[in-house]
Each structure stands twice: as C-alpha cells, then as structure tokens.
Amino acid sequence: MGAKEIVTGVHWVGSLDPSRKYFDELIPLPHGTTYNSYLIRGSKKVALIDGVDPSKTDILFKNLDEIGIKTLDFIVSQHAEQDHSGAIPALLEKFPMAKVVTHSMAKTMLQDLLNIPDEKIQLIKNGDELSLGNKTLKFILTPWVHWPETMFTLLKEDNILFTCDLYGSHLATENIISKNDKIIEDEAKRYYAEIMMPFVPFVKKHTTMVRELKPKIIATSHGPVYKNPEFILDLYEEWTSGKMKKKVLIAWVSMHESTKKMAAYLENALKERGIEVISHNMTGIDSGVLAMDLIDSASLVLASPVFLGAPHPNAINVAVLINLLKPKTKFLAVIGSFGWAGKLAENFSELLPNLKAERLEPVMVKGVPKEIDFERLDKLAEIIVEKHSEL
Ligand code: FEO
C-alpha cells in the first residue's frame, strides 16, 4: 500500500504490519498493526509527524519517494518508543538537513534509545508553534499516554490533531480512514484496555482537552484516522468513566477439574440470579480479551487450584497483568481447590496491590467440591448479587 492523501498537503506515509503477532512480546495482535507517519507539505517547509518501526523504514522511504519528497525540514517526534522513533536515524541519514523537533524530556529519551546527536534536535515547549509557510504546527505536551514524554501536534489550518498512541488501534488495514464500525470499536477497545487503562486520569484529562479543541480529524499513529472524532471520543469517555456494569469476570484455571467445576457452578449460579458473567480459561488466554472485560466488570473472580503451595502459575501471570492494568474492579473473590494446604486469597491479594476492590470471602475446597461446597458457592453468588445492588 502506498502513500494516501488525507487532506490537501497532508499524506499518510506509514506502513502496515499485518504479520506482527505480538506487541511488547505480550499483547496479541489478531489483526497486526500499522505504524502511521504523516507528511505535511507547507508552502515553505516540509515536516514528517512520527516515523515508523525500524523494520518498515524501507516502506516509509518508498512512500516519501512516491509523493516526490526530496527534502525534509522537520521530523516531529511525538513519542520516543521505537515503533514511532526507530526510523529517525535512517531518516536523518537520508535527509541530512532535517531537524528532529521534540521537547526536552523526549530529547533525552531519544538520545538514550537512538543516539541522536544534539545538533540534530530542535527543542520546543508546550504551546510552541512551528510555521511551514501556509501550514502551522502547534505542540501540546500530553504526558503519560502512555510514556511520560508523549505529545500531540495540532495542524492548525486543517484542524488535524495528531495524537500518536492515544486513540489508536492495532489494525493493519488499507482503509486508513476509519469506517467507525464494530471492528474499529473492538480493536480500539482492546488497545485502550491493554495500553491506556493504567493511565486513566491522564487519558481523561487529555480527552477533555481534545473535546475543547474540537479537531476536525484525529490522526493517531496506529490504526485508522478518525474523520469523525466524536466516534472515538465518545468511546473513550465511556471506557474511562469508571462506571462498572453488573458483570462478573471469572478467570479460571484447573488441573484435575475441581476448580473448573467450581467456576462453572458459580457461573451458573450467578446467571440464574440475572447477573452477566464472562468466563475465561487462563491457560493460553488472549490477554487483550481479558483486558477488555476488565474495563467494565464490577466483580472479578479468580479461580485456581493450589500448585506447589501457591496459585497456579497461569493464574499468577494473569494476576500480575491485572495488577499492572489497574482496572476499577469493585469486588474480588477467590475460589479454588487444594490438596493439603494453601492460602490463595492472601497470595492473590499480595499479587494485586493496585486493585482497590473489596475482597469477598474466598471459597476454598479440599479436593473435589462437594454438596456443602456448592452451597458456599451459592452463598458467594448471593453476596455478589447484593454487592452489585449497591452499584
Ligand atoms: Fe506505539 Fe508507545 O508506541
């Protein structure tokens, strides 16, 4: 796929990466990803907003050639993470007159990561403007979405807001303009849950600011461009609202079926009481699907057998991830089976210090669950129903 014009003088020149399977060797990418880079041609100067992953530098160069770019004056670096900055050394080699435009914190990070020399960097501050002739770039520092140095750029005359990672989606599609359909919503949600959810206060603050700016277009650095920004802003306001649904997420793992039976029984008991339940086996779980359910599930049930005196390692992995994602879960319950010893509720609490959820009475069963144990699970279901009624 080659360069595509978004509005007069502004081209998408990024690259698709449909075969990438994971981000950070952690986040599954069922639809690959894109690294969006934008070329802005002013009457006097030419600027590139962000680069691409270094593995796709040749595609970026091909796209720039295709639209006749022989010189580049500015490379605006909105985020130092290498999927956007990694091509900068090669860009500076190809366009030796270009300056990397960024702020002081990002400069340090770019130099740590990419060894960019001082003389190649032009520093800006929050609110500064840079004229390209008939087009003007305004820089807005937006820390912690999702690194401390993240920044937006507003192309004033066209009212296009370049937001780098924020509002992105991992979706390798040739439709670079969002159709605002279900797949975009799902992939933007997955992306939000895994990348932005730990930074909710900052995401909310910056989204309020974006609302006030009223951009005509939001151009992110992953996934399609939003020509109707209301679509993604509405979704972000919903996801960051902290309003939880009366929904229970059960994440379970089982070795000899006891814990599986308990999880299935509790799922049924909750459904019979009119509660929405999502159940995931933690073995081989897609962490993106789990993260999406964490956005709005009021209750989380972790179900695990005791394994060598501790939660099952697959459950430990999931708990560590949940703790990092900092969901707004209201209630946490632990259930599971043990052979001779084990304190899973305490173990999970230690693994989940960021989870401010109220801890419910655990249901631990010696060996296989028996009638009396199923009654305890019924009681847990009742407690969850009661707790949800307070929401
Ligand atoms: Fe797309 Fe934080 O990099």
What tens digit of pLDDT does each residue of 324-369 get?
Answer: 999 999 999 999 999 998 799 999 999 999 999 999 999 999 999 9
C-alpha span between 338 and 49 (Å, rounded)? 55
In this prediction, residues 127-149 reach a mean pLDDT of 98
Check pLDDT > 90 for residue 391: no
Ligand 1 midpoint to CA 372 (Å): 50
List helix spans (H) across 214-339. 230-239, 258-272, 287-296, 313-325
Average pLDDT, the chain: 97
Please give the angle made by the CA atoms of 114, 116 and 120, to the nearest 5 degrees. Answer: 155
Whole-angstrom Cα distance, residue 284 to residue 64? 41
Q: Is the dihedral of CA 186, 176, 150, 106 positive or negative?
A: positive
Taking each helix axis from N to C end, the angle separating 287-296 and 313-325, rounded to the nearest 10 degrees, works out to 50
Residue 81 has pLDDT above 90, yes or no: yes
Domains in the chain: ranges and CATH? 4-239 (3.60.15.10), 248-385 (3.40.50.360)
Q: Which residue has the tokens 């151009």?
A: 219
Whole-number Cα distances in Å, 155 to 48, 111, 115, 162, 216: 12, 26, 28, 8, 10
**How far, in Å, is the centroid of ligand 1 from the Cα of 35?**
9
Report percent pLDDT > 90 for the chain.
Answer: 96
**pLDDT at residue 240, as a whole number:** 97
| Number of continuous H segments (helices) and E segments (strands) in the chain | 12, 24
- What's the mean pLDDT in 240-250? 96
Beta bridge partners of 39: 11, 48
Index of the ligand 1 atom closest to the CA of residue 164: 1
**127 in the Ramachandran plot: left (φ > 0), alpha (ψ -120 to 50) or beta?**
left
Distance 126 CA to ligand 1 centre (A): 20
- Find the 144 Cα to ligand 1 centroid distance in Å: 12
pLDDT tens for each residue of 249-282: 999 999 999 999 999 999 999 999 999 999 999 9
Average pLDDT over every residue of 61-84:
97
Closest residue by CA, ligand 1 atom 3: 81
Residue 70 has a pLDDT of 95
Cis preceding-peptide flag for 146 (omega within 30 of 0): yes
192 DSSP assignment = I
Host H or E run for residue 140:
strand 136-141
Q: 46 C-alpha vs ligand 1 centroid, how far in Å?
A: 24
222 CA → ligand 1 middle, Å = 8
Alpha helices for the chain (secondary structure H): 57-66, 82-85, 88-94, 104-114, 182-191, 200-213, 230-239, 258-272, 287-296, 313-325, 344-351, 371-389
Q: Using CA atoms, how far apart are residues 60 and 36, in angstroms rounded to an integer?
A: 9
Give me the helices (H) in 115-199, please.
182-191
Amino acid at 367: G
CA-nearest of 2, 17, 11, 20 to 42 is: 11
Query: What is the arithmetic mean of pLDDT over 104-130?
Result: 97
pLDDT at 220 over 90: yes
11 three-class SS: strand
Instruction: Write out pLDDT tens, residues 17-54.
Output: 999 999 888 889 999 999 999 999 999 999 999 999 99
Q: Which atom of ligand 1 is nearest to the CA of 165?
A: 1
Q: Which atom number of ligand 1 is nearest to the Cα of residue 222?
A: 1
Taking CA atoms only, the protein residue closest to ligand 1 atom 2 is 81
First to last CA, the chain: 49
Phi, psi dihedral angles at 246 (to 5 degrees)? -75, 75
Binding pocket residue ranges, ligand 1, CB within 6 Å: 79, 81, 83-84, 146, 165, 221-222
Q: Mention every residue, 6+ apart, whose C-beta is less than 8 A from residue 386.
A: none
Asked if residues 140 and 107 have their Cβ atoms less than 8 Å apart, the reply is no
Atom of ligand 1 lying closest to residue 150 CA: 2
Cα of 26 from ligand 1 centre, angstroms: 14
> What pLDDT does 23 receive?
87
Query: Residues for the chain: how many in total?
Result: 391
In DSSP notation, 36-68 reads: --EEEE-SS-EEEE----GGGHHHHHHHHHHTT
Q: Measure 168 CA to ligand 1 centroid, in angstroms.
A: 9
Atom of ligand 1 nearest to the CA of 35: 1
Distance, CA of 126 to CA of 103 (rounded, Å): 8
CA atoms of 388 and 333, how far apart (whole Å): 13
Q: Scan for tokens 């000899």, then name that residue.
A: 256
Q: Which atom of ligand 1 is nearest to the CA of 147?
A: 2
Q: What is the mean pLDDT of residues 146-164?
A: 98
Q: Distance, CA 70 to ligand 1 centroid (Å)? A: 28
Rounded to an integer, the average pLDDT of 185-214 is 97
Confidence at residue 67, expressed as pLDDT on a 0 to 100 scale: 97
- Cα 165 to middle of ligand 1, angstroms: 5
Tell me which of 17-26, 119-128, 149-158 is least confident.
17-26
